[in-house]
Copies of this chain bind each other. A is one copy, B any other.
């Protein structure tokens, strides 16, 4: 199954290393053989060995920690609940079966907040019903856990809606930005959730200190007032290796038909 006959040399070397990782011979955190030593064991040049290792890096299995060497990636995911603020307790005890054990064991959270005025990105413009030339207020947050970036949380508001309000101050809003919106006569009463999966932009990669081979999920929430006016878009960017997204179903009824789950 592993080094089946043909294929490029670098793929066969990559297959060999991948198999050793998956078998546990090279456990999480273990150091890979040096490129130099791989050239000898496989009888190829260093360029070929590097190509093989690059395959594993792009698969997210291996990280480079220059100049100490390459290491098997450690993956540790925390639970992310997109619906969190509308749920205090799960409806069924089983829901926590695989989650409670992982949840916060005395971690130290922190965050940074910045406020910018800028033109909205296309997806935000479309959802707020703005033109790309319009201006939005952006509250940009990066959340950290034990000092490493955990996710980003950027809120976009139409400028004329929040002009001069507390939302434009780069500090935590104790009662929540939604409460401020309500005071401005634009209370957000419902929302649409979307999740997009892709590789990070260079910007996102640097904000989140993401290595090669780590994709992100962008969780986008569009908030509406009672009469259907969009007043807010939130974009949460979650590094794939640090999050497990969990959510609950609406109706605890019987599935009706089919295998569509």
Q: Which residues of A contact B (CB under 8 A)?
A: 15, 18, 58-60, 77, 82-88, 91-98, 126-127, 139, 141, 153, 155, 173, 175-179, 187-202, 212-213, 215-217, 221, 223-224, 228, 230, 234, 236, 238, 240-241, 243-261
Contacts and interface: CB of A to CB of B under 8 A. Distances in A.
A215 B199 contact: yes
Contacts of A199: 58-60, 213, 215
Contacts of A141: 259
Given A255-B86, A258-B97, A215 B192 contact: no
A251 to B, nearest CB: 5
B256 A94 contact: no
Contact of A178 (B98, B188, B255): B255
Contact of A97 (B202, B215, B246, B260): B260
A210 B44 CA distance: 29
A244 B127 contact: no
A109 to B, nearest CB: 12
Nearest to A91: B257
- Give the interface centre of A201, A223, A249 by most chain B CB atoms within 10 Å: A249
A87 B240 contact: no
A28 to B, nearest CB: 13
Copies assembled = 2
A257 B176 contact: yes
A187 B255 CA distance: 10
B197 A238 contact: yes
B221 A234 contact: no
Nearest to A61: B199
A228 B224 CA distance: 37
Contact of A190 (B92, B179, B216): B92
A8 to B, nearest CB: 13
Contacts of A238: 197
B59 A228 contact: no
14 contacts: A59-B200, A86-B250, A86-B256, A98-B192, A153-B259, A176-B259, A178-B259, A188-B255, A191-B261, A195-B195, A196-B240, A197-B217, A197-B243, A248-B250
A254 B189 contact: yes
Contacts of A261: 82, 85, 191, 221, 223, 234, 236
Contacts of A82: 247, 261
A251 B86 contact: yes
Nearest to A14: B202
